[in-house]
Structure 1
Amino acid sequence: MRKARMVAAAAGVVLLVAGCGSNGGSDKGGSSGGNTSVTSGGSTGGSTGGSGGGEELTAEAVKKEIDTAATGAGFTQDASGDKVPAGTEQCMVMWTADSAKAADQKKSYKETVTALGQAGWNIDKNFEQSGSTIKSLSKGTWLLKASDHSMGMLKMDMFIATDAKPECEAALKAAGPQKTP
């Protein structure tokens, strides 16, 4: 129960600090990078398009891309923090790393973000403060906040993606802020 509350609190911090709207996230106050777009020629074979034609990116495809990048970088998933609000399953993906099991948490985070860039995710914004790093990425209509908190007692890495389509924005707004038990 304690870990679930920490995950919920950290998710709230990620969303509050980095923003999670259709504007790609606000990076007011403390941004250490502007629009640093990283693009690569590599793609996921067109099966999860979403930008510039091809098939639409689904929540399942986003989750698979995050999982592939994170596990390939040395993270294992801590599924206890990955539940999304009811009614937003097609609009939101949460992937929480069991950061304690990573050989080098910071390195795994950086490699995950790099792998996502190679899979076609654009790195739009970077926010760093007090040992936490939050990167805003985008692909198609999806916005992803990749956060690394590795200073102090809180050691956590989370990847939270939301679809910015109007119907998803309405579903996310209707779900409202989540309360921890």
Structure 2
Amino acid sequence: MRKAKWLAAAAGVVFLVAGCGSNGGSDKGGSSATTGGSASAGSGGGSEAGGEGLTAEAVKTQIETAATGAGFVQDATGDPVPAGLEKCMVSWTADAEKASDPKKSYTDTVGALGKDGWKTGQNFSQGGSTIQTLTQGTWQLKASDHSMGALKMVMFIATDATPECEALFKADLEKNKKS
């Protein structure tokens, strides 16, 4: 349960950072993303112009397709998205222990997402960890690789920045402050 609360808090932080930095940061241009890649409109792969109207299910499919194609399998012990946020957030955790080269699989996953219409933005690297921001339409994805050393964790957390989702994230953060 503690992990689920952390996930909701992390999503809120990702969302708030996205809201604060998307107009002036180096990750501008999410809504002007073009589509491409192998996903088709029928697969929910985000063929909408610029990713507008992209659903959580389509985002999950894109992440899963890119990650599994790069050699990852999903970690079955990863926490689900907190109740009530399923349409606004996607969390996909890779089992980095099972990947032959987690760093390469991470890089290949980010590359595949780029071919599927996700625009790369800010990149943060420190101490062997990397967090890459990607955007498509109203969605922002934080791809994080912490596979150096003993801890091997690779996560993809996407949040939708629509006003409806903003309200849901704020309500969830407030609820968790009280618990």
Instruction: Give the TM-score normalised by the residue count of structure 2.
Output: 0.77
1:17-66 C-alpha deviation (Å, 9 max, x unpaired): x8433636759xxxxxx55989776243345234448x721111100000
> Equivalent residue for 1:49?
47
Distance 2:9 2:105 in 1: 21
State the identity %.
54
* Alpha-carbon offset, residue 132 of structure 1: 0.6
SS of residue matched to 1:75: coil
> Equivalent residue for 2:67?
70
Distance 2:27 2:170 in 1: 27
- 1:137 aligns to 2:158 (yes or no): no
* Alpha-carbon offset, residue 8 of structure 1: 7.2
Coordinate RMSD, CA, aligned: 3.4
Relative to 1, partners in 2 of residues 1:77 and 1:22: Cα closer, same or farther, differing over 3 Å?
A: same
**Counterpart selection for 2:149 from 149, 152, 163:** 152
> Equivalent residue for 1:30?
none
Please list every run of 5 or more consecutive structure 1 residues that lacks an aligned counterpart in the other structure.
28-33
> Equivalent residue for 1:31?
none
Question: Larger helix proportion, structure 1 or 2?
Answer: 2
Distance 2:29 2:93 in 1: 24
SS of residue matched to 1:20: helix
Distance 1:106 1:162 in 2: 23
Distance 1:100 1:76 in 2: 10
Distance 1:52 1:12 in 2: 27
Q: Which one-letter code corresponds to 1:133 in the other structure?
A: T
Distance 2:60 2:53 in 1: 14
Relative to 1, partners in 2 of residues 1:176 and 1:79: Cα closer, same or farther, differing over 3 Å?
A: farther
**Counterpart selection for 1:174 from 147, 171, 176:** 171
Relative to 1, partners in 2 of residues 1:25 and 1:94: Cα closer, same or farther, differing over 3 Å?
A: farther
